[in-house]
Chains A and B, each alone.
Chain A
Amino acid sequence: MEAVDRPGLEIIWKADALVRVLSRDGEATVAQLAEAVNEPLSSTYRLLADLKQIGWVERGSKRGLYRLGLFFVRIGGLAEDFVDVRERAIPHLRELRAETGATTYLCVRRGLTGVCIERLEGPGVHALNFRVGDSLMLNVGGAPKALLAHLPIEERQLVMAGLAALPGEPRGPLGGALDDEIHQIRARGWAESDGDVTVGIAAIGAPVFNHRGELEAAVSIGGLRSQVLDVPENGPRVAACAAAVSRSLGFGGEEVA
């Protein structure tokens, strides 16, 4: 991080340095903080006093320890309201469409299904289904299977039991076959779908996580098999796009700026 070379603003840089140490270490003494930010003890005391006054730091669990204040909990909670996965994903979906020439999708989980919440049409052939608002069972398609494979284990088991209990002829794999595929998806980093929704149409999907590491959505591409699955770069491209959307949601923590 470069120092802010504006007169009067060094204080922001110094405050941020303290915040970084405390967010990494949880609690610290003045001496530890002074050393970490390379400032004399006396000015670190002064800075801590100022930060305490505005609620950025508070006294820690023991005498002489400082930690981040409730201010951060409050601001972070409020900030979460303005982080909209759709809005954050669109520029990345656009890039993915340009790279692959395929239609790109953003999909969230609802119950046993994945629902399409954004779709950017590629120039080539695209399936007519999975428009915005459409849903697919979680054991078919690229994005839905990517969602299923990355659900927490208990939820995944509930969903799999729910899918198995559905009436009628199953469309996607169930039981052991589905377990195997989930394994494969997790190991590879993306899910592949080959004509299981629409004959001749293939898809690749990868998961998006929020700042807590919770599954938030999945991105995918869809189109003709030759355009999607026969291009070996597409899997890593979709995975990289999903990772970029995750980062834009704060996944990966401090590295995000």
Chain B
Amino acid sequence: MSGAAPMRVLANATDLIELLAGEGALPLVDVATRIGVPRPSIYRLCEGLAAVGMVELLPDSRVRLSTRWLALADAARAGMSEWRGVPEVLAHLVERTGQTAFLSVPYGSSALCLDWCQGRGIDVLAYRPGRTIPLHVGAAGRTFAAYGVPLPEGDLRRLTEKTITDPDELAADRERIRRDGYALSEEDVTVGIGALGVPILAPDGTLRGALSLGGLVEDVRKHCDDFVAELRAGVERLLVVP
């Protein structure tokens, strides 16, 4: 890596971090192959990242992310001052509905869960802080698609039998979400699980994020109107936070 362009080193570091975040501890040898960087360079990169506390080199020649990333994620969240009022709003939604409440923001061509407050029932939700979902599924994803975040090119993955992948059907779905002002997700991410999402729009109409509630699909269906009203009240409260 001697003389490697700084940007190249940073890009390799990012690839390495992404890989370890997805798979946990990996043998250094595998990391080199997976990232497609010569082994000596990967060793040096890992040593460099270990020296600043971003990764840990394990005695068995594996490398993993350090727990410092947990604190960095918390710090990044805390730095996003526009979402200062979020924990209270999410806790209030859980108190009112018993469902799990989420704040999501657009992240490339997906929705990223920035924060959540867990509901009182089940714990099988695939979506939680730091997780992303594609824009053709889920309450947050489809809300973003409806309010202008473009879907990626190419084939869309089917997660369950209920996942919509047909472009015309998706266009109709976006139309419906804009008309109603909310998205209803019924088992299109996880069988048995439903969610409701509403957009968080700045006064000028810019999409800033989405608030959503998730739980058992029967509960979500049954209380749809009440839950949407709670979500809208939550958005109102978020937008008045200075």
Contact = CB atoms under 8 A, between A and B. Distances in A.
A135 B210 CA distance: 41
B70 A9 contact: no
B67 A6 contact: no
A33 interface: no
B112 interface: yes
Contacts of B73: 72-77, 79-80
B124 interface: no
A83 interface: yes
B191 to A, nearest CB: 21
A80 B130 contact: yes
Interface string A220-257: 00000000000000000000000000001110011011
A15 interface: yes
A45 B1 CA distance: 23
* Size bracket, chain B contacts: 35 or more
B25 A12 contact: no
Interface string A51-77: 101111000110000011111111111
Nearest to B56: A257
B1 to A, nearest CB: 4
Contacts of A256: 53, 66-68, 71
A16 interface: yes
A67 B80 contact: yes
A1 B49 CA distance: 12
A112 interface: no
Interface string B42-77: 001101110111100000000011111111111111
Interface in B179-225: none
B3 A248 contact: no
A68 B48 contact: no
A77 B131 contact: yes
A79 B77 contact: no
Given A8-B1, A250-B70, A73 B76 contact: yes
B81 A61 contact: yes
A4 interface: yes
A158 to B, nearest CB: 12
A11 B4 CA distance: 10
Interface stretch (A18-26, A117-125, A192-200): A18-26
Contacts of B77: 73
A7 interface: yes
B1 A68 contact: no
B112 A74 contact: yes
B9 A11 contact: yes
26 contacts: A1-B53, A8-B3, A9-B1, A10-B6, A11-B9, A12-B51, A16-B52, A23-B71, A26-B75, A27-B79, A54-B14, A61-B80, A67-B80, A68-B75, A72-B75, A74-B73, A76-B73, A77-B73, A79-B130, A80-B130, A82-B25, A82-B64, A211-B67, A253-B74, A256-B67, A256-B71
Given A10-B6, A77-B129, 6 more contacts: A23-B71, A47-B6, A68-B79, A70-B107, A72-B76, A76-B73
